[in-house]
């Protein structure tokens, strides 16, 4: 197996203010595929030379404080970190259900990278998310709540912790970098 230089896995502590914000961009020049997701990459239209991306076929460009010189793995890792679906995929992979036999209305218990959390699912789409030493947070996923208990629990956690982007932050960043090593790049003609 080919080993990658340590610099590929470095995290950047200070990001440009425009990083992760919507922007205007020129025509796409590359298509990145990361797992089943596909993104277009273009030069951002701004005073600084940097890139932008969007989901393939999407309309909204998102700025990256990266250039081609940073390398495709770092660019792809940043895209994974910004894509809102990635945090769900991360939790779907890392949230370990502690038991499988809870009766209806009982708390579903999870362990994620050493952090315990619970979710109590209600029939009306509302849930209660609990972390140790924290007050429970009520979340209402509404009528669009998925039927699967695990999926509802993870979406509830993401909604309850929406203002806590650092939840599993270091682990999420490292996971994004590992996922990004599988990026494939094709030119857009």
- The whole-angstrom separation of Cα 155 and Cα 141 is 8
- The whole-angstrom separation of Cα 63 and Cα 144 is 30
* Per-residue H/E/C for 20-72: CCEECECCCCEEEEECCEEEEEEEECCCCCCEEEEECCCCCEEEECCCHHHCH
Task: Return all residues near 74 (Cβ < 8 A) that are at least 6 apart.
Answer: 8, 66, 180
pLDDT score for 73: 96
| CB-CB contact of 20 with 54 (8 Å) | no
- The whole-angstrom separation of Cα 78 and Cα 189 is 24
Classify residue 156 as exposed, middle or buried by CB count within 10 Å of its CB (0-12, 13-18, 19+): buried
pTM of the full predicted structure? 0.77
Q: What is the pLDDT along the chain (189 residues), one digit of tens a residue?
A: 333 334 334 445 577 888 889 999 999 999 999 988 999 999 999 888 899 999 999 999 999 999 999 999 999 999 999 888 888 899 999 999 987 777 666 789 999 988 899 999 887 778 999 988 889 999 998 877 888 889 999 999 988 887 666 778 889 889 999 999 999 999 998
Structure tokens at 140: 């209402």
Helix (H, G, I), strand (E, B) or coil at 76: helix
Helix (H, G, I), strand (E, B) or coil at 170: helix
DSSP state of 19: T
Give Dmax over CA atoms of the chain in angstroms.
Answer: 58
Q: Where are the beta strands (DSSP E) in the chain?
A: 22-23, 30-34, 37-43, 51-55, 61-64, 95-97, 107-112, 115-121, 126-131, 137-140, 184-187
| CB-CB contact of 129 with 117 (8 Å) | yes
């Amino acid at each position: 197996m080919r080993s990658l230089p340590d610099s590929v896995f470095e995290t950047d502590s200070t990001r440009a203010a425009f990083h992760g914000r919507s922007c205007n961009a020129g025509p796409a020049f590359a298509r990145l595929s990361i797992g089943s997701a596909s993104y277009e990459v273009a030069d951002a239209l701004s005073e600084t030379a940097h890139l932008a991306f969007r989901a393939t076929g999407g309309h909204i460009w998102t700025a990256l404080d990266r250039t081609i010189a940073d390398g495709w793995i770092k660019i792809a890792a940043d895209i994974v970190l910004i894509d809102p679906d990635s945090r769900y995929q991360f939790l779907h992979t890392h949230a370990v259900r502690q038991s499988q036999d809870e009766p209806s209305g009982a708390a579903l218990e999870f362990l994620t990278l050493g952090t315990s959390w619970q979710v109590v699912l209600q029939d009306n789409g509302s849930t209660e998310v609990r972390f140790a030493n924290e007050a429970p947070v009520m979340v209402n996923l509404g009528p669009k709540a998925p039927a699967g208990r695990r999926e509802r629990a993870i979406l509830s956690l993401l909604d309850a912790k929406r203002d806590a982007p650092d939840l599993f932050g270091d682990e999420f960043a490292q996971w994004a970098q590992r996922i990004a090593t599988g990026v494939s790049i094709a030119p857009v003609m």
